[in-house]
Amino acid sequence: HRMAKDMGSLPVAVWDSQALTLRDVLMQVDVPTLGKIVKGQFMNLGVSKIPFRSLQQEVLIHSIKTNIKVLSHSVQRIDGRDGRVRLQPLEQRLSIPITYQGWFELLSEDGRSARPIDSVLTLAKVKPNRCLVRQNIKAFMAGEDGQMTYDKSKIVPAGESLTLMGDITVKAPTGERRKVLKCRDSKNVILFFDHEQRGLFTLIAGSQDVAGVMTIKDIIGRFRLPLTVKLVQGVWPKVDSNRFTGTIRLDWVYTDEVAFLCPLDRGMFRITPVPTEILMKVLPAANSSEILENQTIRDIITKVNRMVANYNNTIHLILTVPEAAMAKNKSHKMVNMFSPKENVNGHSQVKRSKSREDILMNDVDELYQYLRDGKMPPKEKFHYDSDEESFFEEPAYEKLDDFRSRLQRLERGEPGNQSSRYRPADLAKLGLHKGAENLRSVGDHELHKPETPPEVPPTLPPRRYTRADSAPSIQLNQVQKSSPQKAESSSGSSRGGASKKDTKQSSSKTSSHSSGKKNTVHTFYL
């Protein structure tokens, strides 16, 4: 009766007599299907052991999948007194699905990374195969004739990947010739960027590159863990900086089998990933084929499909929450159900679950308040049934102290005891790489390659020297040694008259040119 009241007219479910565990449901029943939980509980689902406490029993079993995730933890950069930067681990553990579509870049041991490219001109000089747009930038498009036009443009959002196609020369509206960079986006749309535009770009690493951004799947398939990375672009968890800073230490890869269940209650419409290891038994609907033909159920499945896709594209925060707290928390308006309720002055910061009518009435009151103040209400303020989550939270299956001790053993190169829940997976069996011998370690010198090739001018050919007529010169006369008698005679003759002196100098010059033994002349050009 409650299900029909909240979800509309649905066929009456006929429950099977044999209860199945979550693992057996996948082997014996086609999903999606409807089910009724008759044993066990997890969060707001299951059979309550406490009187006068209601849990959701009728659920939609959307799918049961084995997810490949990377167990990691948040770290933060700290500036030391000696001027050095070091990384300090935080207590927040993370779980990243390999289907996460964010972009990461590798960091050195002190948290340094390569600088991004800040202009289109530099990007054209580097000439990478692909690049990632780090901030919104204006791009010009092609006209009906396939040529670039300045009359048609669009804004390329951050996170878009571009494939470079080379430089071309176009005619600007002013009549001058300008160079533009021709690119193709992820939707095969041709875009043009002027060389004088400013932007922020990062290279997308190739199959053999280390510098540049890459997906989480590429990282674990090419490099050995543990490894420090930085989230450059992707769905960022909207939490405090003491829980997530964007700098992540990837520890190891593990597998996680979960069943995506959704209660059939519009007031609590949100998927709940339930691990198949939880002792829970459900009765599948015998008339599942008839129920799935109902339009209301089809709309629910479409909505849950978006929720599951969002689950696979978000970073999950792992929290240590007592079992009683997990079962007690039933708020569907919280971003995540495991988040603790912080009380300030006796009032909770997180709103309790409200009916749809109460939410609508509150929104109407806010709209009237905007009208009284003469202001326009924001367009993003009033919306409903959002399927987007900035992050998900998972219960921890290992104590934090055990997790820390295991990290210390991994840093020392020791295997240590592995938790059954977070046991490292064999990546070769999962098809993520061809063996551990093909994985490579990353050195700090490989992470800081220059973005642009060094601009060294080419070597010039030897230039032939030619003296100008106006160049000043200095002539030095070097007199060779002679006998004392000749020196005295020459000095004595010089004391004679001026006529004798001139005669001696002229004869000396004539003899020096003829013999080449007495005087030599050296000329130096300045």
Phi-psi group of 4: left, alpha or beta (phi > 0 → left; psi -120 to 50 → alpha; rest → beta): alpha
Which tokens is 292 given?
């799935």
3-state class of 122 per DSSP? helix
Flag whether pLDDT at 205 surpasses 70: yes
Task: State mean pLDDT over 328-343.
Answer: 40
| pLDDT for residue 504 | 47
| Closest to 473 (Cα-Cα) out of 421, 521, 427, 437 | 521
Residue 322: CA count within 13 A, CB half-sphere: 4
| Closest to 201 (Cα-Cα) out of 121, 141, 140, 142 | 121
Higher-confidence residue of 102 and 445: namely 102
Nearest-angstrom CA–CA distance, 300 and 271:
11
| pLDDT for residue 11 | 77
Instruction: Give 469's pLDDT tier (boundaries 50, 70, 90).
Output: low
| Averaged confidence pLDDT in the chain | 76
Tens-digit pLDDT profile for residues 117-167: 999 999 999 999 999 999 999 999 998 888 899 889 999 999 999 999 999
Tens-digit pLDDT profile for residues 46-85: 988 776 667 889 999 999 999 999 999 999 888 877 777 7
3-state class of 326 per DSSP? helix
Instruction: Give 416's pLDDT tier (boundaries 50, 70, 90).
Output: low
Flag whether pLDDT at 197 surpasses 80: yes
Question: Where is average pLDDT lowest: 72-86, 209-223, 431-445?
Answer: 431-445
Flag whether pLDDT at 192 surpasses 80: yes
Task: State mean pLDDT over 185-213.
Answer: 91
| pLDDT for residue 409 | 75
Instruction: Give 181's pLDDT tier (boundaries 50, 70, 90).
Output: very high
Higher-confidence residue of 354 and 120: namely 120
Nearest-angstrom CA–CA distance, 387 and 130:
31
Reported pTM: 0.69
| pLDDT for residue 464 | 59
The answer to whether 89 and 78 are in contact (CB under 8 A) is no
Task: State mean pLDDT over 501-526.
Answer: 50
| pLDDT for residue 443 | 57
| pLDDT for residue 374 | 65
Question: Where is average pLDDT lowest: 57-61, 303-307, 505-509?
Answer: 505-509
Task: State mean pLDDT over 29-52.
Answer: 87
Phi-psi group of 424: left, alpha or beta (phi > 0 → left; psi -120 to 50 → alpha; rest → beta): beta
| pLDDT for residue 360 | 59
Residue 89, preceding peptide bond in cis (omega within 30° of 0): no
Phi, psi of 2 (to 5 degrees): -65, -40
Instruction: Give 219's pLDDT tier (boundaries 50, 70, 90).
Output: very high
Instruction: Give 87's pLDDT tier (boundaries 50, 70, 90).
Output: confident
- Longest CA span, the chain: 149
The per-residue DSSP string of 328-386 comes to H---SSSSSTT----EETTEESSPPP--HHHHHHHHHHHHHHHHHHT-PPPTTTS----
Flag whether pLDDT at 508 surpasses 60: no
Residues of the chain above pLDDT 70, percent: 65
Flag whether pLDDT at 5 surpasses 90: no
Nearest-angstrom CA–CA distance, 68 and 60:
23
| pLDDT for residue 120 | 95
Name the DSSP letter for residue 14.
-
Tens-digit pLDDT profile for residues 371-407: 666 666 655 444 434 456 788 888 887 777 877 787 7
Instruction: Give 433's pLDDT tier (boundaries 50, 70, 90).
Output: low
Residue 226, preceding peptide bond in cis (omega within 30° of 0): yes
